[in-house]
Amino acid sequence: MSYRIVEERLGATFECADDDVLLRAGLRASLPLAYECNAGGCGSCKFELLEGVVHDLWPTAPGLSPRDRGRGRRLACQSQPLSDCRIKMVGRGEATPAPAPARHAANLIGIEDLTHDMREFRFQTRTPANFLPGQYALVSLGEGAPRAYSMSNVGNDMGEWHFIIRRVPGGAVSSSLFRLALGTQVALDGPYGNAFLRPEVERSVICIAGGSGLSPMIGIARGLDRATLPPERTVDFFYGGRRAEDICGEALLRDLPRLGRQVRFHPIVSNDSVSWSGRVGMVHELVADLPAEAFTQTEFYLAGPPPMAEAVVSLLTRERAVPADRIHYDRFF
Ligand SMILES: Cc1cc2nc3c(=O)[nH]c(=O)nc-3n(C[C@H](O)[C@H](O)[C@H](O)COP(=O)(O)OP(=O)(O)OC[C@H]3O[C@@H](n4cnc5c(N)ncnc54)[C@H](O)[C@@H]3O)c2cc1C
Ligand code: FES
């Protein structure tokens, strides 16, 4: 069964299945709704419910402040309709060339360990994997809320969706994923996300990843490897981890047929140890060391935990005057 949703800001109407949420149903209808994480954390998908009834899947989601709640605001990524509704999104979304998201069954067809707690998972759907480099999908293992994971590969006709996932100690979904046997079926919903590769922009590229933010940045690098790059365009890849044993990704970059020898890899760890001879500190500190000209004609892509992403964005916009439209990022709430 589905309900009819009228969105007042765009003056648009769309159908939302009773097991779907307002945000994703609107995006499936190719509406440019405001959102970022799809996980209740960022607050970008706030809306006002003007008429109708919705079920709030996560009443304490951190994306809404007490003030928002007091004003009756809700999160479209956490709202399932219980009737036809009239809503008004608070923020303005952007139209993107990204494919509209859809729900698929996917089989686990491959796994590869990258570190003690990071693994690349390969899933396959029956239809082509239609997404842009750097986007993410929602993965569900039966009951419970889905989790967002970013693709580390590029769209393809074989239906392959690859994700580099960190096992979070005590994490409900990431820990369960590490126990899955090959051949297990999961529910996959995507693609989502606006931090995708803009291959048409002929600037040098800087990718900045923290922790599991590696996955979409490898996806961006793989996408760049397929694009036609002017010879003078450079690619720098910054990666921050906690300890020496967390650092990985350089081998994946070196495997790229075209960019492999050209890309510059800059690792940094926050905790010093005898097994580490490189830089110690936070990844934005390493980026801050770049010469001034590195910030003037460069496209920035970044992903990782919110504090890391916010430190990098603050450095770029406030201290290095990089225009916001040259910075593309996902915060992993
Ligand atoms: C856009 C995006 C892309 C991401 N990409 C990656 C990636 O490529 N690789 C990677 O390893 N991680 C990625 N993450 C993080 C990932 O989605 C999970 O947060 C992480 O794996 C921990 O999940 P868990 O179930 O193991 O831990 P848990 O501690 O069980 O869950 C943590 C997360 O679950 C969600 N959550 C918790 N409670 C509820 C609830 N009641 N209802 C709804 N949601 C709830 C919240 O988002 C929270 O952050 C990404 C996150 C986002 C937002
Ligand atoms: S998109 Fe809904 S809270 Fe982030």
Per-residue pLDDT of 284-320, as tens digits, reads: 999 999 999 999 989 999 999 999 999 999 999 999 9
Q: What is the pLDDT of residue 1?
A: 94
**d(C-alpha 154, C-alpha 258), whole Å:** 15
**d(C-alpha 306, C-alpha 36), whole Å:** 12
**Nearest protein Cα to ligand 1, atom 31:** 171
Identity (one letter) of the amino acid at 132?
L
Whose atoms come closest to the Cα of 174: which ligand? Answer: 1
Q: How confident is the model at residue 51 (pLDDT cuts 50, 70, 90)?
A: very high
The tens digit of pLDDT for each residue in 197-208 reads: 998 888 899 999
Examine the pLDDT at 168 and tell me if it is beyond 90: yes
Closest CA to 33 of 90, 71, 80, 102: 90
| 3-state SS assignment for residue 99 | coil
Q: Please state the rounded mean pLDDT for residues 31-48.
A: 97
Examine the pLDDT at 230 and tell me if it is beyond 80: no
In the block, residue with structure tokens 């998972």: 121
Q: What is the pLDDT of residue 199?
A: 83
Cβ neighbours of 172 (radius 10 Å): 11
| Residues linked to residue 276 through DSSP beta bridges, in sequence order | none
pLDDT averaged over every residue in the chain: 96
Closest CA to 193 of 51, 4, 292, 332: 332
Contact assessment for residue 280 and residue 294, using Cβ atoms and an 8 Å cutoff: no
Q: Report how many helices (DSSP H) and strands (DSSP E) the chain contains, helices first.
A: 7, 19
Q: Is the CB of 35 under 6 A from ligand 2?
A: yes
Residue 148 CA to ligand 1 center (angstroms) comes to 6
Q: What is the pLDDT of residue 50?
A: 97
Q: Please state the rounded mean pLDDT for residues 11-22.
A: 98
Ligand 1, residues at Cβ distance < 6 Å: 37, 39-41, 57-58, 136, 145, 147-150, 163-166, 168, 171-175, 212, 215, 330, 332-333
Q: How confident is the model at residue 144 (pLDDT cuts 50, 70, 90)?
A: confident
Residue 120 CA to ligand 2 center (angstroms) comes to 25
Contact assessment for residue 186 and residue 139, using Cβ atoms and an 8 Å cutoff: yes
**d(C-alpha 132, C-alpha 224), whole Å:** 11
Q: Is the CB of 152 under 6 A from ligand 2?
A: no
Whole-model pTM? 0.97
Terminal Cα-to-Cα distance of the chain (whole angstroms):
31
DSSP state, residue 319? I
Cβ neighbours of 150 (radius 10 Å): 31
Q: What is the pLDDT of residue 46?
A: 98
In the block, residue with structure tokens 């842009």: 132
Examine the pLDDT at 231 and tell me if it is beyond 80: no
